[in-house]
């Protein structure tokens, strides 16, 4: 049986139960429970989110409704947000907006139509997210099931043995400590590169380097020459599918085969650049929505975003690491694609060079493969992203005043006047990136977009899903210290 036939057989066995499921049939089951991982040789108690077969996350068949019974098997309240899906507002999964978290032992039923196939994910909308309460949520299209390619899902995360509450407390206690921290420890990062547009864009080319230090017990800050702030937490590990590069997942692929990597940045406070190494790679979708294919070797991914990468495995075979390089740091994680019998070498968890600083050079080249209907824009809003590392308070100035009207197509321009980058996420809708620094583009359709320091990004969306929708930075600690608003509208 060749791979296409095998996949077709697998597809029909996958798809049939769902497609033929009568309305009264039982829903899919998702369970939140704790589990133990071995990280850096130490036992780590983390959350897990598994389906009825015990696999992480959930995969829906083409056309399948999101009919899910979510069970809380923790001894604390929890709730899960379906990132990128567009459910009716009460099913969005942010605690008390409007439904409370599930009590221990509680099960809650969800049921709504899924509007679009693609790579999505799910996670706690609280500090529990830091402790790995996150998993893939894949919605297959009919085409996915017949395409002659192998699918690989990779969920990235950042991990600390320090509890998230303590990480947050250290950050908000003021960063007088951060200067102190600079005296210790090696942390090398590259310099900055100007680009023509905003003057603040940071490239991967190093123009000199400076040594930065890490604070004791994991919290740290990095500052760029020029004042731009990168990472504000130094993690104990960076994970790809729960594993470090010391013991990475090795995925068997076929010589000459094609692989679709669905990559999810589930990290709470770490941006990555994906490095496909020597493989021919093409970015075919972002945040679940197809883009005109963009070939390259390296692709940026900020918190909350997803990349669908189509890779061609050489006919000669071999082992091919797909690495996630931490922004501004030498740390990296990833998985290895290897053909049968290929020797798989060991990879250090630290690379030679610091990972590139993320910019908008890829974003500005993305073109939505299916252009949304271009209704006239009925309302325009300006939001200033503000805040600083010293006080560790963050704000979306002007966003609190936004009230949406159902049926309007709405544009929001986000201008970042702070020194940190902010991955901005809107719940309950998908949006299109329609301008960068005021220059119009027919950009990607997505749900999370990066706004680097000194830059502005304009998004447009249809207000077609009434509710009180969270609109926030997907850096967990920025969100937890002010960078979140709610956009209300009624039907
Ligand atoms: Cu932010």
Q: Name the strand (E) or helix (H) holding 179.
A: helix 176-181
Local confidence band at 480 (pLDDT 50, 70, 90 cut-offs): very high
249-308 pLDDT, tens digit per residue, is 999 999 999 999 999 999 999 999 999 999 999 999 999 999 999 999 999 999 999 999
How far, in Å, CA of 30 to CA of 252, rounded?
28
Residue 353 is assigned to a structural domain of this protein: no
Ligand 1 centroid distance, CA of 262 (Å): 24
Closest to 91 in 3D by CA, of 71, 107, 111, 106: 111
Domain boundary among 147, 170, 198: 147
Give the end of a domain, one of 147, 173, 190. Answer: 147
- Cα 268 to averaged position of ligand 1 atoms, centre (Å): 11
User: What per-residue confidence (pLDDT) applies to 178?
Assistant: 36
How many angstroms separate the CA atoms of 257 and 316, rounded? 11
Predicted local confidence at residue 273, as pLDDT? 98
Strand partners, 257: none
| 158 assigned to some structural domain | no
Number of domains the chain is built from: 2
Residue 222: which pLDDT band, with cuts at 50, 70 and 90?
A: low
**pLDDT at residue 232, as a whole number:** 86
Section 36-52 average pLDDT = 97
Query: 80 with 94: CB under 8 angstroms?
Result: no
Say how many Å lie between the CA of residue 311 and the centre of ligand 1. Answer: 31
How many angstroms separate the alpha carbon of residue 479 from the centre of ligand 1?
7
Establish if 359 belongs to a structural domain.
no
* pLDDT over 60 (residue 184): no
Distance 423 CA to ligand 1 centre (A): 6
Give 475 Cα–ligand 1 centroid separation in angstroms.
Answer: 5
**Domain boundary at 147, 171, 205, which?**
147
Instruction: Map residue 9 onto helix, strand or coil.
Output: helix
CB 96 within 8 A of CB 130: no
- How much distance in Å is there from the Cα of 430 to the middle of ligand 1? 19
152 Cα to the center of ligand 1, angstroms: 29
- The residues, any chain, with a CB within 8 Å of residue 393's CB and separated by 6 or more, are 172, 387, 481, 482
| Predicted confidence band of residue 34 (pLDDT cuts 50, 70, 90) | very high
Range with the poorest average pLDDT among 202-206, 360-364, 398-402, 463-467: 202-206
Q: What is the C-alpha to C-alpha distance for residues 151 and 254, in angstroms, rounded to an integer? A: 12
> Do the domain assignments include residue 74?
yes
Of 234 and 465, the one with more pLDDT: 465
Confidence check: pLDDT of 399 > 80? yes
Ligand 1 ion local residues (Cβ < 5 A):
422, 473, 475, 478
- How far apart CA 223 and CA 225 sit, in angstroms, is 7
Distance 394 CA to ligand 1 centre (A): 7
Q: 420 C-alpha vs ligand 1 centroid, how far in Å? A: 7
Q: Give me the domain span that covers residue 392.
A: 377-489
Query: 257 CA distance to ligand 1 centroid (A)?
Result: 39
For the segment 350-354, the average pLDDT, to the nearest whole number, is 95
Lowest mean pLDDT among 22-26, 202-206, 312-316: 202-206
483 Cα to the center of ligand 1, angstroms: 7
Q: Is 365 contained in some domain?
A: no
Per-residue pLDDT for 192 more than 70? Answer: no
Measured CA to CA, the distance from residue 349 to residue 221 in angstroms comes to 20
User: If you average pLDDT over residues 400-421, what whole number do you get?
Assistant: 97
The pLDDT of residue 380 is above 70: yes
Q: How far apart are CA 126 and CA 40, in angstroms?
A: 25
Q: How confident is the model at residue 375 (pLDDT cuts 50, 70, 90)?
A: confident
Residue 295 inside a domain? The answer is no
**418: CA distance to ligand 1 center in Å?**
9
Q: Report the CATH number at residue 427.
A: 2.60.40.420
| CA–centroid distance, residue 233 to ligand 1 (Å) | 13
How many angstroms does the Cα of residue 135 sit away from the middle of ligand 1? 22
pLDDT class of 14 with cuts at 50, 70, 90: very low
Task: Tell me the average pLDDT of the chain.
Answer: 87
Block residue for tokens 């986000």: 414
* This prediction's pTM: 0.86
How far, in Å, from the CA of 395 to the mean position of ligand 1? 9
Distance 477 CA to ligand 1 centre (A): 8
d(CA 398, CA 302): 24
Q: What DSSP string runs through 373-416?
A: P-PPEEEEEEEEEEEETTTTEEEEETTTT----TT-EEEEEEEE
Task: Kindly give the distance from the C-alpha atom of residue 127 to the centroid of ligand 1, in angstroms, as a whole number.
Answer: 15
Label the pairing between strands 118-123 and 134-139.
antiparallel
In a domain, 307, yes or no: no
Question: How many whole angstroms from 474 Cα to the centroid of ligand 1?
Answer: 6
> What average pLDDT does this structure show over 113-127?
97
What is the pLDDT at residue 288?
98
> Cα–Cα distance between 299 and 273 in angstroms, integer?
5
CA of residue 415 to ligand 1 center, whole Å: 12
54 CA from centroid of ligand 1 (Å)? 33
Measured in degrees and rounded to the nearest 5, phi and psi for residue 73 equal -105, 25
Mean pLDDT along residues 321-336 = 98
Q: What's the confidence (pLDDT) of residue 223? A: 52
Instruction: Give the Å distance between the CA of 179 and the centre of ligand 1.
Output: 21
Q: What is the pLDDT of residue 196?
A: 29
Say how many Å lie between the CA of residue 473 and the centre of ligand 1: 5
Is 275 a member of any domain? Answer: no
Largest pairwise CA distance in the chain? 64
- Determine the distance separating the centroid of ligand 1 and the alpha carbon of 482, expressed in angstroms: 9
- What's the confidence (pLDDT) of residue 174? 57
Ligand 1 centroid distance, CA of 335 (Å) = 28
């Amino acid at each position: 049986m060749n791979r296409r036939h095998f996949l077709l057989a697998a597809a029909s066995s996958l798809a049939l139960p769902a497609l033929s499921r009568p309305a009264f049939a039982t829903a899919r089951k998702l369970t939140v429970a704790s589990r133990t991982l071995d990280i850096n040789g130490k036992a780590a108690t983390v959350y897990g989110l598994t389906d009825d077969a015990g696999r992480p996350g959930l995969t829906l068949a083409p056309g399948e409704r999101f009919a899910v019974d979510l069970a809380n098997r923790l001894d604390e309240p929890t709730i899960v947000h379906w990132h990128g899906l567009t459910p009716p507002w009460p099913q969005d999964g942010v605690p008390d907006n409007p439904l409370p978290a599930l009590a221990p032992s509680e099960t809650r039923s969800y049921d709504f139509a899924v509007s679009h196939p693609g790579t999505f994910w799910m996670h706690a909308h609280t500090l529990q997210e830091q402790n790995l309460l996150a998993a893939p949520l894949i919605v297959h299209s009919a085409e996915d099931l017949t395409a002659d390619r192998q699918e690989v899902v990779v969920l990235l995360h950042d991990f600390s043995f320090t509890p998230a509450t303590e990480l947050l407390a250290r950050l908000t206690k003021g960063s007088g400590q951060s200067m102190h921290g600079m005296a210790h420890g090696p942390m090398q990062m590259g310099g900055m590169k100007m680009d023509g547009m905003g003057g603040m864009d940071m490239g991967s080319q190093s123009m000199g380097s400076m040594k930065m230090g890490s604070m004791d017990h994991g919290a740290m800050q990095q500052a760029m020459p020029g004042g731009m702030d990168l990472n504000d937490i130094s993690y104990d590990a960076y994970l790809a599918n729960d594993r470090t590069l010391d013991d990475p997942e090795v995925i068997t692929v076929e010589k000459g085969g094609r692989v679709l990597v669905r990559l999810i940045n589930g990290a709470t406070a770490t941006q990555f650049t994906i490095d496909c190494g020597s493989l021919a790679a093409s970015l075919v979708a972002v945040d679940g929505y197809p883009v005109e294919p963009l070939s390259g070797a390296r692709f940026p991914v900020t918190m909350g975003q997803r990349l669908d990468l189509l890779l061609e495995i050489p006919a000669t075979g071999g082992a091919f690491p797909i690495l996630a390089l931490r922004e501004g740091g030498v740390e990296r994680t990833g998985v290895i694609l290897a053909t049968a019998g290929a020797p798989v070498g060991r990879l250090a968890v630290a690379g030679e060079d610091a990972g590139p600083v993320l910019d908008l050079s890829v974003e500005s080249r993305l073109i939505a493969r299916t252009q949304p209907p271009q209704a006239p824009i009925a309302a325009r809003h300006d939001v200033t992203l503000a805040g600083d590392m010293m006080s560790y308070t963050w704000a979306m100035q002007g966003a609190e005043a936004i009230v949406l009207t159902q049926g309007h197509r709405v544009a929001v321009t986000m201008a970042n006047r702070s020194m940190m980058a902010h991955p901005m996420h809107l719940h309950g809708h998908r949006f299109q990136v329609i301008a960068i620094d005021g220059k119009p583009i027919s950009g990607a359709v997505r749900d999370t977009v990066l706004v680097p320091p000194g830059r502005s990004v304009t998004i447009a969306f249809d207000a077609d899903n009434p509710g009180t929708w969270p609109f926030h930075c997907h850096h967990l600690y920025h969100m937890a210290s002010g960078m979140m608003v709610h956009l209300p509208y009624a039907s």
